[in-house]
Structure 1
Amino acid sequence: MISLRELTVRYGATVAVDGITLDLTPDKIYGLLGRNGSGKTSLLSVLASYRRASAGTVTVDGVDPFENPALMRGTAFIRDQLDVTTQDRVDRVLDFAGRLRPTWDAGYAEHLTDVFELDRRKRVSALSRGQRSSLGVVLGLAARAPLTILDEVYLGMDAAARTAFYRELLADYLAHPRTIILSTHLIEEVADLFEQVIVIDRGRLLVHEDTDTFKARGVAVTGPAAVVDAFVSGRTVLSERSLGGVRQATLYGGLDPRDVERAGAEGLSLAPVGVQDLFVHLTSGAADGTHRSEALR
């Protein structure tokens, strides 16, 4: 069980993480979403014990993980920049990971190097950008750490390699459940993997809920402008766009059966909004500078 209470991370006068309170139950795949500079990596660095929080607390099963060797051995934090010696060969990097991680599966690591066509004799410095990302995936998945954090690990991987990564992640998670936090900008590609969605914006927690619940909160209403305006009045409107006399409004908040019946009677069409579209709408600043989170309170 991971618990954050008023967690804050500052860099001088800059507040990267602003008082986040959050509980993560074990053995789920979490999608951590946020725009560049939203504080995702700072938050993950604290969870992985790479840095101490400026204020607030983080506990894993009730214990502070910072400089706790037992907990740190059970946490794998894989970033887009690998934390390995670039002059080492791939097989040496994997061997070191095996000695570091008590849950390491050498056979699975070998399988993954075959899947991603990694030459174990090559030095890390000789790998392409995509191959380095694949090595990061091997280190993250084969560790089978109780807490596995994958922060933009796919950078440089082509579509085929990313597809293989998603396939391996899901299959191995089902066989060996653990807590996986996946930070990504390729939301549309991986949204189906998420059991829960966490959205942060400007260092603040915007959303934390089951993926299906999150998806159900978004609906696009399309029809004659005047009819759409009347229908959405009093609701949380994330965005609007018009073409001629037709308007589409994206709403945040589910519709009850009476709303759906009314929409049909008034000639309005309703369509679901994907995780990526919802994320974009929620984290886009309003024209007057109002933070989206204010509209959701």
Structure 2
Amino acid sequence: MTAAIDIRAVTRTYGHATALDDVSFRVPEGSICGLFGSNGAGKTTVMSIIAGHDRPSSGEALVLGDTPFEHEPTVSRISFIRDNQRYPDNYQLKHVLRIAPEFAPDWSAEVAAELVEGFRIPAKTPIKKFSRGQMSAVAIVLGLASRAPVTLFDEPYLGLDVGARTVFYDVLLRDYGRHPRTILLSTHLIDESESLFDRVVILNAGRVAVDCDRDEARELAVVISGAADAVGRLCIGRTVLQTRAIGTLSSVTVTGDADEALLADARRAGVQVAPASLQQLVAAYGAPAGNAEEQTAPQPTRTTQQKEAAAA
């Protein structure tokens, strides 16, 4: 696969703190990749490096074949959207929309107008008086209307209600279909955004825990639910990622897929077996160490790059 984003053994330290620890993953050109993990897992740090706003302490980050840091030709092809954008005090929406095309050669006024209408962004109110949701809406307009070859969204819809988020998803998918580009999206709203993603990367404490395509992710783990004693017996010999219990019932996430032997054992035991949802995978593989709901700390799964190396 041709990688639009290629992160190679990247470590980023700040003094004695390690934000990223030997992180490697690739995002194929023209794909939508979800970047997940708990707060502090390293998502914003790796996005800042991809955007050229920061550089690795060691390792290499390539975007469209070049190192983005202090490389304007590459940075100009990246749109990085996060929730801390600031504007001059007198700016209204019209000022932002007037200047944005100067930094986005592929700017689409049509997409911008569609989003402004869908989000109902006030035209004459100074942006400094916008709510958090309205600020997020402006940021999304800039990100999607830019049609940048590489677009990064870091928690883009803080403060947006479900209707506005639906506008975002609909316009993203529709315009992506017309003008494919590479999109890396970090979000905690996993269940409602799951259908967007071609690929999944989960970070845990600055390291890659999962890196695979969406179909492979469906085979990483299953959830066994039912009477705690029966579930416990069925989990013997299996790698447990996470356990949740309510009274005499438990729900246990274990590695592997739902093969015929497991399904047969589950039927005999009177318990339920289902593939882990993306939300459950992120909870299991991305949970910080010491989470009270974890029975066993998840071990990193093999990444796509490791599988390719093993097959070579």
Using the size of structure 2 for normalisation, the TM-score is 0.87
Change (3 A) 1:155 1:243: closer
Report what 1:150 is aligned to: 153
Check whether the contact 1:74–1:146 (CA below 8 A) recurs between aligned residues.
yes
> Percent identity, aligned pairs only?
37
1:67 to 66, 70, 73: 70
Aligned to 1:48: 51
- Equivalent-residue separation in structure 2 for 1:83 and 1:68 (angstroms): 23
Give the deviation of 1:87 after TM superposition: 3.1
Letter in 1 for 2:235: V
Aligned counterpart, 2:299: 294
Code of the aligned partner of 2:152: I
Gaps of 5+ in 2: 303-312
Matched-pair contact (CA < 8 Å) for 1:283–1:292: no
Work out which of the residue numbers 5, 11, 16 in structure 1 matches 2:14: 11
Q: Distance in 2 between matches of 1:51 and 1:73?
A: 15
Q: Would the aligned equivalents of 1:75 and 1:146 in 2 still touch at CA under 8 Å?
A: yes
Deviates more, 1:224-233 or 1:286-295: 286-295
- How do 1:1-297 and structure 2 match up within 5 A? 1=3, 2-242=5-245, 246-284=249-287, 285-286=289-290, 292-294=297-299, 296=301
Deviating more after overlay: 218-227 vs 35-44: 218-227
Provide the C-alpha distance between the structure 1 equivalents of 2:123 and 2:105, rounded to a whole number of angstroms.
22
In 1, the alpha carbon distance for the partners of 2:40 and 2:88 equals: 27
Structure 1: gaps of 5 or more residues: none
1:110 and 1:46 map into 2 onto residues whose CA distance is 31
CA-to-aligned-CA distance 1:222-262 (integer Å, 9 cap, x gap) = 34444433321121112234556554322122132232223
Shift of the 238–294 alpha-carbon distance from structure 1 to 2, 3 Å rule, reads closer
Task: Describe the shift of the 1:81–1:108 C-alpha distance in structure 2 as closer, same or farther (beyond 3 A).
Answer: same
2:307 equivalent in structure 1: none
- How many aligned positions are there? 297
In the aligned structure 2, how far is the partner of 1:287 from the partner of 1:98? 45
Once residues 244 and 106 of structure 1 are traced to their aligned partners in structure 2, the CA distance between those partners, rounded to angstroms, is 56
1:131, CA displacement in angstroms? Answer: 0.9
Distance 1:119 1:267, change over 3 A: closer
- Change in Cα spacing, 1:54 to 1:266, as seen in structure 2 (3 Å) is same
Q: Matched residue of 2:114: which SS?
A: helix
- Aligned counterparts of 2:36 and 2:285: Cα–Cα separation in 1: 11
- Give the aligned residue type for 1:91: K
